[in-house]
């Protein structure tokens, strides 16, 4: 049976060049799905909408916020998006949609509009200008949310079968971006369309795909053990969904980057609440549960993934390629707020989660490699990191690939902030 065309994919494509037409199409989709009469449909163009669209509309009685996530070939995929009820039943703070569609190619959530900021916007402001008082409020809120999430992991961790692991929507963020969604061919999907047989332009060096894929990385004097090709091949081999059953499953949001988290201020404190649970599940392979939050809320900042134009004005990077080695020098580093979040993520999430898995005999010997390969796929397949292929410039592209390798590969001597974090959380 031929899959139906994706209306959300068409709207995303049209929105790039004709936002007025896309907004009309969105109004028609909302009417068809929910039998409502939307007015003033407005698409919100922000740096965090890498694979989604969000915005606002009104009806005669209420103001609304909408969001949808769209993957290539999703209409041919199995599984179900948007299961906020799973998170709510587990006791997690989650904003419940007033309208929801899980139809293939027409997955969309509609919420009552609220005035709260997203946590992503709060943290970006702190990246640009540190405010110790606000940073403490944000860190305290993150710490409390991490405790609640960890309680849910303790309560819901259970053995899962291979088919249960394979059926979780979260796999669309990792393994399924490596392959052709229709045939399963590797390399395929985003990996093939983004990088294979393309050119890579950096400050000081331009490489072909074969040279880039097989280059040995040396970043600020630290050499790394695996190449880009080895990391993609390793992810294809180890992150097959059925193989991830060995780590058990938990109830998890799965994609709780901070553009999917409300920051609800209450005087000198704040509470955090999830929304857009596009990849939520009750059998989420446990080692994947915290990967997206770790990368997209910490390692993707400051600026390089979501604000490449601002990054180019703020940081520098240079490359030198010789005899199969790509040497990178950069002054990019975590800001104080991201360092705070990395510490919280290590202490409140990864350390107790890994110890829990060990105590339940569900921690595989290669857990560190599973985590690293998953972290590596976050930036490389969420958007095209090549300069000129999207919003990325040569500087942000180079810093992006450097951080992807830092996340994915063990260093050969020396250390970095990712290795230090993994050493800290290793069960004893």
pLDDT digits (tens, 9 = 90+) for 30-65: 999 999 999 999 998 777 766 778 899 999 999 999
Q: In the structure, what pLDDT confidence band is assigned to residue 72 with cuts at 50, 70 and 90?
A: low
Domain span including residue 158:
117-425
Residue 1 within a domain: no
Give me the numbers of helices (H) and strands (E) for the chain, helices first please. 16, 16
Residue 81 has pLDDT above 60, yes or no: no
Considering only residues 408 and 12, tell me which one the structure prediction assigns the higher pLDDT: 408
If DSSP codes are grouped into helix, strand and coil, which group holds residue 63? Answer: strand
Shared domain check, 152 and 11: no
- Measured in degrees and rounded to the nearest 5, phi and psi for residue 390 equal -140, -130
Residue 72 within a domain: yes
Q: What contacts 270, CB < 8 A, 6 or more positions away?
A: 137, 138, 140, 141, 263, 264
Nearest residue to 273 (alpha-carbon basis) of 100, 84, 51, 124: 84
Number of domains forming the structure of the chain = 2
DSSP secondary structure letter of residue 296? I
Q: In the structure, what pLDDT confidence band is assigned to residue 109 with cuts at 50, 70 and 90?
A: confident
Residues counted in the chain? 428
User: Hey, how many other C-beta atoms are within 10 angstroms of the C-beta on 279?
Assistant: 24
Of 65, 88, 112, which residue constitutes the final position of a domain? 112
Shared domain check, 126 and 108: no
| Crossing angle for the helix pair 394-408 and 228-238, to the nearest 10 degrees | 50
**Do the Cβ atoms of 289 and 146 come closer than 8 Å?**
no
Shared domain check, 126 and 72: no
- The whole model's pTM is what? 0.91
Considering only residues 78 and 413, tell me which one the structure prediction assigns the higher pLDDT: 413
pLDDT at 78: 43
Shared domain check, 102 and 60: yes
Chain mean pLDDT for the chain? 93
DSSP symbols for 78-90:
-S----HHHHHHT
User: Hey, how many other C-beta atoms are within 10 angstroms of the C-beta on 365?
Assistant: 6
Under the phi-then-psi rule, with left for phi > 0, alpha for psi from -120 to 50, and beta for the rest, what region is 203?
A: beta
């Amino acid at each position: 049976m031929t899959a139906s065309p994706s209306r959300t994919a068409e709207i995303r494509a049209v929105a790039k060049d004709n936002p007025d037409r896309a907004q009309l199409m969105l109004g028609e989709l909302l009417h068809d799905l929910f039998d409502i009469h939307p007015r003033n449909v407005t698409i919100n163009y922000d740096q965090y909408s890498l694979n989604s669209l969000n915005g606002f509309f009104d009806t005669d009685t209420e103001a609304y916020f909408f969001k949808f996530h769209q993957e290539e070939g999703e209409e041919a995929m199995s599984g179900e998006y948007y299961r906020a009820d799973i998170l709510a039943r587990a006791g997690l703070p989650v904003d419940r949609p007033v309208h929801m569609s899980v139809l293939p190619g027409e997955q969309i959530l509609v919420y009552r509009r609220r005035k709260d900021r997203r946590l992503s916007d709060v943290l970006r402001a702190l990246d640009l200008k540190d405010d110790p008082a606000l940073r403490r409020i944000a860190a305290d809120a993150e710490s409390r949310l991490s405790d609640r999430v960890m309680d849910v992991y303790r309560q819901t961790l259970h053995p899962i079968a291979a088919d249960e692991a394979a059926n979780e929507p979260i796999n669309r963020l990792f393994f399924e971006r490596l392959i052709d969604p229709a045939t399963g061919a590797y390399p395929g999907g985003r990996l093939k369309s983004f990088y294979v047989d393309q050119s890579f332009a950096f400050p000081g060096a331009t490489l072909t795909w074969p040279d880039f894929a097989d280059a040995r990385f040396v970043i600020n004097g630290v050499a790394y053990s695996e190449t880009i090709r080895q990391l993609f091949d390793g992810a294809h081999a180890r992150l097959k969904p059925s193989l991830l059953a060995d780590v058990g499953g938990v109830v998890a949001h799965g994609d709780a980057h901070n553009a999917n988290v409300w920051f609800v201020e209450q005087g000198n404190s704040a509470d955090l609440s999830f929304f857009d649970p596009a990849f939520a599940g009750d059998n989420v392979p446990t080692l994947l549960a915290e990967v997206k939050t770790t990368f997209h809320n910490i390692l993707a900042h400051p600026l390089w993934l979501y604000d490449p134009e601002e990054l180019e004005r703020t940081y520098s990077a240079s490359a030198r390629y010789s005899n199969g080695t790509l040497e990178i020098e950069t002054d990019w580093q975590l800001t104080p707020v991201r360092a705070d979040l990395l510490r919280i993520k290590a202490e409140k999430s990864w350390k107790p989660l890994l110890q829990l898995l060990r105590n339940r005999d569900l921690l595989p010997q290669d857990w560190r490699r599973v985590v690293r390969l998953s972290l590596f796929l976050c930036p490389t397949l969420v958007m095209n990191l090549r300069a000129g292929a999207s919003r990325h410039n040569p500087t942000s592209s180079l810093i992006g690939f450097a951080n992807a390798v830092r996340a994915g590969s063990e260093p050969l001597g020396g250390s970095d902030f990712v290795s230090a974090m993994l050493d800290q959380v290793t069960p004893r």
